[in-house]
Amino acid sequence: MAQQDACTLLDDDHNQVVRLFQQYKSAHQDNQKLLLARQICHELDVHTRIEEEIFYPAFRQAVGDEALVQESVHEHQEAKALIAKIEAASRPEDKVMLDLEDAILHHVNDEREKMFPQARKARNLDLFQLADQLQQRKAELMAAHPA
């Protein structure tokens, strides 16, 4: 059984990506930036997938805030469009990376301020069992597509 709840687990991913953006912004060499950009895209790809496959459906069922789920999925789609641009580029794209960072910070804030508090209040949502599922799926996706 997981030691932390699903929201804490997802927030660890958020913190990790925020750190990677900091590293990107202090990097000077193109090859280092390119590696960090790819790692950020990969982490976000896996993170948005486990949310959409596991966390959001469970949240929707337990809390029923459909508008919030739809807004979140929409924000993921905006991020994915930027990620596709970054992945297609052969050179680091600072402007697109900053746009992506802005979008992600905004989205993470929404999850922290709006979604996680509701999830933690829901009595019919087992956040520890959900953390196990998220962890397992994340491991599968990381193994299938190493960064």
For position 101 contacting Fe ion by CB under 5 A, the verdict is no
Measured between alpha carbons, how far is 132 from 126 in angstroms, rounded to an integer?
10
Question: Smallest gap, in angstroms, from Cβ of residue 90 to Fe ion?
Answer: 28
Kindly write out the interface string for residues 102-121 of this chain, putting x where it contacts Fe ion by CB under 5 A and - elsewhere: ---------x----------
Q: Which of residues 1-60 bind Fe ion (CB under 5 A)?
A: 10, 51
Measured between alpha carbons, how far is 27 from 71 in angstroms, rounded to an integer?
33
Which has the closest alpha carbon to 45: 69, 76, 73?
76
Measured between alpha carbons, how far is 69 from 55 in angstroms, rounded to an integer?
10
For position 93 contacting Fe ion by CB under 5 A, the verdict is no
Measured between alpha carbons, how far is 136 from 134 in angstroms, rounded to an integer?
5
Which CB atom, from 89 or from 139, has the smaller least distance to Fe ion? 139
Which CB atom, from 10 or from 130, has the smaller least distance to Fe ion? 10
Measured between alpha carbons, how far is 65 from 21 in angstroms, rounded to an integer?
30
Question: Smallest gap, in angstroms, from Cβ of residue 41 to Fe ion?
Answer: 15
Which CB atom, from 18 or from 27, has the smaller least distance to Fe ion? 18
- Residues within the interface to Fe ion (CB under 5 A): 10, 51, 111
